[in-house]
Amino acid sequence: MDNRPIGVFDSGVGGLTVVKQIVKLLPNESLVYFGDTARVPYGSKSKEIVTKFSSQIIRFLMTKNVKAVVIACNTVSSNCYEILSEEFPQLPIIEVVTPGVESCLAATRNKIVGLIGTYGTVSSGAYEKRLKAADPNIQVYKKACPLFVPLAEEGWVNNDVARLTAATYLKELTDKNVDSIILGCTHYPILKACIGEIVGEGVTIVDPAKATAQRLKEYLENHNMLTDNTEEAERLFYVSDKSHFEQICSRVLHEDYHAEKIDIEKY
């Protein structure tokens, strides 16, 4: 048993969609979340810069004595996971792409799938490579949807602007007859209702968050690292700049939390 908290991070509010699933599955685990609100978006930045930001964040989370880190960001997971695992060999690191691939394989029937994510995720080829390795017959159509990130950060999740943006981005994929679409960016589940409206009921929306939480649980179980805490778990939130973080946080988690601003450049 291990009562230390779990660290979770993202470029901003997106990772909260993963926190939501972790809290559901592992309610007794304490969490430390970091949202890099000063430097969001990551999706249009280079691998080198995103790796540097992620290393700083993991070093910060380590000062909070975390027992494991969840990269609740597809851009970081698909571009920097190997480098970060080498840099922090002592720390269990869970990423979101593998659970996303597994959920998609379980969901598709016609083996024509869509992937939406940031430019960084889509151009990394990480999802496509793993999907095709598991099933060479699968067809993957990809579309970067960078504007979903500021919409989610702004809380514009189901208004005319969000709907028009989603319709414009997603037409290419629905025209290809995809039967499932992977939300390959943790910000996108915040716009799930809007995305679902546009793609229609026949398309399964695959959110890797649930399977990521499951993977984390299995890891902790297998390594005897689950908490034995039965008191209310502690959940701490940190950001790198002032933003709408707290508002979106209460919308996603249905609970109010204070987010403390820290200087991430120090780490």
What residues act catalytically?
73, 185
Whichever of 56 and 186 has its CB closer to ligand DGL, that residue is 186
Q: What is the DSSP letter of 209?
A: H
Q: What is the DSSP letter of 223?
A: T
CA pair distance 145, 120, nearest whole angstrom:
11
Stretch of 7-15, 133-141, 158-166, 244-252 lying at the interface with ligand DGL (CB under 6 A): 7-15
Q: Looking only at residues 20 through 49 of this chain, which bind ligand DGL when binding is defined by CB under 6 A? A: 40-43
Q: Looking only at residues 112 through 131 of this chain, which bind ligand DGL when binding is defined by CB under 6 A? A: 117-118, 121
Around 263, how many Cα atoms within 13 Å sit in the side-chain half-sphere? 2
User: Strands of 112-117's sheet, edge to edge?
Assistant: 139-144, 112-117, 180-184, 204-206
Residue type, 137: N
CB of 150 to ligand DGL, least distance (A): 9
- 74, 108, 204, 240: residue in contact with ligand DGL (rule CB under 6 A): 74
CB of 171 to ligand DGL, least distance (A): 22
Alpha helix (H) residue ranges in the chain: 16-25, 47-63, 74-87, 97-107, 119-124, 126-134, 148-154, 160-174, 192-199, 209-222, 245-253
Stretch of 10-18, 128-136, 206-214, 224-232 lying at the interface with ligand DGL (CB under 6 A): 10-18
Whichever of 101 and 185 has its CB closer to ligand DGL, that residue is 185
* Burial class of residue 14 in the structure, from the number of CB atoms within 10 Å of its CB (0-12 exposed, 13-18 middle, 19+ buried): buried
Residue pair 65/31 in contact by the 8 Å Cβ criterion: no
Binding residues for ligand DGL, total number by CB under 6 A: 17
Instruction: Find where tokens 């509010």 sit.
Output: 13
CB of 58 to ligand DGL, least distance (A): 16
- 68, 73, 252, 264: residue in contact with ligand DGL (rule CB under 6 A): 73
Q: Looking only at residues 148 through 177 of this chain, which bind ligand DGL when binding is defined by CB under 6 A? A: 149
Structure tokens at 106: 């379980």
Q: Looking only at residues 173 through 232 of this chain, which bind ligand DGL when binding is defined by CB under 6 A? A: 185-187
10 near ligand DGL, rule: CB under 6 A: yes
Stretch of 68-76, 103-111, 222-230, 236-244 lying at the interface with ligand DGL (CB under 6 A): 68-76
CA pair distance 38, 18, nearest whole angstrom:
20
Residues lying near ligand DGL in the complex (CB under 6 A): 10-11, 14, 40-43, 73-75, 117-118, 121, 149, 185-187
